[in-house]
Homo-oligomer: A and B are copies of this chain.
Amino acid sequence: MESLFKDPHQLSPKAIRSLIRKGKWDRPTAGLAMGYAQANLVILSEKYAFDFLLFCQRNPKPCPLLEVLEAGEYRTRFLSQEADIRTDIPRYNIYREGKLEATVKEIKGLWRKDFVTFLLGCSFSFEEALLRAKIPVRHIEQNKNVPMFISNISCKSSGIFHGPMVVTMRPIPSHKVSRAVQITSRYALVHGAPVHIGDPSLIGIKDLKRPDFGDPVTIKKNEVPVFWACGVTPQVIVMEAKPNLCITHTPGHMFISDLLNEELAIF
């Protein structure tokens, strides 16, 4: 347990993954390895892999692919050269027929040769960029989960995968909305620019105080609600498609990569 005497927030991605692999860190990863990209995880049988890959290609804002591993492959090659996808994530959700069956700390025993692994970008990366530009991120200020809403924006379907886009909302001061668009445009691999700015009812959201997931946050007088595509979308889509087995990270318990957020920026 000696490593835990150090502040885990000071550890490198590799050191944190090593703790996670040994079962010594099974908590959320927000705030760890600042500057490094974290990723969402979806594991599906090969049977669904083409359709899900195509779903991501058609819906790059909610489903920005950072890396896809071939069937049976559990070692990453691009996000890290030494990570093991079966052990290096703090908590995994096991879904059967779309229902959460268990939450576990590793999936070595469940691993199958037909598993295809998808790692998708996470908004932590662009939130760091917003904060660096002194753009407030309300749920971080208020120590809450980001508010998420099921919008009426349809994803483009692919095979069994179809459904609405989930969006996150961040209230941004009117005079900083342009800057927030510019900054997040650089991060197309972590949801990119907003999908909607302003009146929530136009995308089917009735009440900003009642998010579908996460917590409500304060919106000030001079602020505009700004909506980004959310990484919960692929999870909701996959759950609705009810594949016989699907493994994801447990929300908030992400894969920590060796890539700097800056390396993901598209320009």
A54 to B57, CA, bound (A): 10
Which residue from B54, B185, B266 sits with its C-beta under 8 Å from A53? B54
User: Residues of B contacting A111 with CB < 8 Å?
Assistant: none
A58 to B78, CA, bound (A): 10
Binary contact track A198-229/B, C-beta < 8 Å → 1, others 0: 00000000000000000000000000000000
With CB as the reference atom, state the residue of chain B lying closest to A66: B57
User: Residues of B contacting A188 with CB < 8 Å?
Assistant: 188, 266
A101 to B57, CA, bound (A): 31
A193 to B188, CA, bound (A): 15
User: Residues of B contacting A193 with CB < 8 Å?
Assistant: 267
When the two chains form their complex, are residues A158 and B70 in contact, meaning their CB atoms are under 8 A apart? yes
- Determine if A68 is an interface residue (Cβ-Cβ < 8 Å): yes
Which of A50, A53, A158, A182 has the most B CB atoms < 10 Å from its CB?
Answer: A50
A68 to B193, CA, bound (A): 23
- Determine if A49 is an interface residue (Cβ-Cβ < 8 Å): yes
With CB as the reference atom, state the residue of chain B lying closest to A69: B54
With CB as the reference atom, state the residue of chain B lying closest to A188: B266
Instruction: Identify which of residues 155-199 in chain A touch chain B, using a CB-to-CB cut-off of 8 Å.
Output: 156, 158-159, 182, 185, 188, 192-193
When the two chains form their complex, are residues A185 and B54 in contact, meaning their CB atoms are under 8 A apart? no
When the two chains form their complex, are residues B70 and A266 in contact, meaning their CB atoms are under 8 A apart? no
- Determine if A89 is an interface residue (Cβ-Cβ < 8 Å): no
Which of A49, A54, A58, A193 has the most B CB atoms < 10 Å from its CB?
Answer: A54
User: Residues of B contacting A266 with CB < 8 Å?
Assistant: 185, 188, 192, 266
User: Residues of B contacting A56 with CB < 8 Å?
Assistant: 57
User: Residues of B contacting A158 with CB < 8 Å?
Assistant: 70
User: How far apart are A5's CB and chain B's nearest CB, in angstroms?
Assistant: 40
User: How far apart are A215's CB and chain B's nearest CB, in angstroms?
Assistant: 30
A80 to B156, CA, bound (A): 15
- Determine if A16 is an interface residue (Cβ-Cβ < 8 Å): no
Which residue from B58, B68, B182, B192 sits with its C-beta under 8 Å from A57? B68
- Determine if A85 is an interface residue (Cβ-Cβ < 8 Å): no
- Determine if A230 is an interface residue (Cβ-Cβ < 8 Å): no
Which residue from B49, B54, B192 sits with its C-beta under 8 Å from A68? B54
Instruction: Identify which of residues 47-68 in chain A touch chain B, using a CB-to-CB cut-off of 8 Å.
Output: 49-50, 53-54, 56-58, 65, 68
- A residues near B, CB below 8 A? 49-50, 53-54, 56-58, 65, 68, 70, 78, 156, 158-159, 182, 185, 188, 192-193, 266-267
Q: Give the 3 A-B residue pairs with the shortest CB-CB distance, closest first.
A: A185-B267, A50-B50, A53-B53
